[in-house]
Structure 1
Amino acid sequence: MVHVRRSFTVERPLPAVAAYIADFAHAVDWDPGTRECVRDGDDAEPAVGARWRNVSVFRGRRTELDYRLDRREERRVTFTGTNKTATSTDDFGFEETGEGTRVTYDATIRFHGLARLADPFLRKEFERLGDEITRTLPDAVRAAVPS
């Protein structure tokens, strides 16, 4: 299992930040590996149970995960992505601050079967991606959500 936690502040109000993140299709704008993320179903506001098909490139390899919105609360949004190799949980916590919204991002990747042997070798790459997200996600929110 690989776990990465990062916190950062976005100069936008908490409800707007949480609403932006709750639509996982926006991952194409803030996740460095995501190339495509398409929601299944209608275009209404995402609710618990909503699903997306995510296509990413990781270490030069294309991978697809099916993501589901598992939790959508005022101060927390959680997605779970699965494929035959891994289960990825992306958990976002939100806190109001004087500057805007403090976001705490927890990513947990559990590899299945023989892929579990890769954990120690991939940890550093996931840490690097976590560092990138502290820059790309706030920039994406600022671009999408008016101040």
Structure 2
Amino acid sequence: MISVERVLVVRRPVSEVIAYLEDFTRAEEWDPGTVRCVRLDDGPVRRGARWHNTSRFRGRTTELRYELLVREPFRLVFRGENKTVTALDDLRFAEEGTATRLTYRASLTFKGLARLAAPFLRGEFEGLADGVAERLPPAAAAWRP
């Protein structure tokens, strides 16, 4: 398994940052690996909501089906899965004055033979996490409900 963590400050209140991030279609704006993300169900975002995510990693495109597993007042957890990998995005929120401190933890668990590649992919996954740390705060700050 590969795990990365970044702590970010977003210059918006917690409730607005959560509202922005709970809709995973917006990953197109803040995740440098996401090419496209489409909601698969309707209605308000709730636990069990699903998305189809197209990502690019190491020059290859992959499709994952994401689900919102946890939707708590200060935490969101998304799980993406396909036949070779399970991805978890765990987002924890805290008030920091009028801003939000976001702890972003992402992990990849490879399946089957793909597990053998995991040790060689850490550096690239760290680079993606750096891209999230760079892109997410301004994307969330610019969003208007």
TM-score (normalizing by structure 1):
0.96
CA deviation vs aligned residue, 1:59-103 (integer Å, no higher than 9, x gap): 100000000000111100000000000000000000000250000
Structure 1 contact 12–145 (Cα < 8 Å) conserved: no
Q: What is the match of residue 35 of structure 1?
A: 35
Q: What is the match of residue 4 of structure 2?
A: 4
- Flag as ranges the 4+ runs of structure 1 deviating above 3 A: none
Q: What is the match of residue 26 of structure 1?
A: 26
RMSD over aligned Cα atoms? 1.0
CA distance in 2, matches of 1:75, 1:60: 34
CA distance in 1, matches of 2:12, 2:124: 29
Aligned-partner residue type, residue 71 of structure 2? R
CA deviation vs aligned residue, 1:18-50 (integer Å, no higher than 9, x gap): 1111100000000001111000121x3210000
Percent sequence identity over aligned pairs:
52
CA distance in 1, matches of 2:122, 2:144: 32
Aligned-partner residue type, residue 59 of structure 1? R
Structure 1 contact 32–132 (Cα < 8 Å) conserved: yes
Whether 2:91 is the aligned partner of 1:92: answer yes
Q: What is the match of residue 139 of structure 1?
A: 138
1:97-116 matches, within 5 Å, as 97-116=96-115
Question: Which 5+ residue runs of structure 1 have no aligned equivalent?
Answer: none
TM-score (normalizing by structure 2):
0.97
1:51-70 matches, within 5 Å, as 51-70=50-69
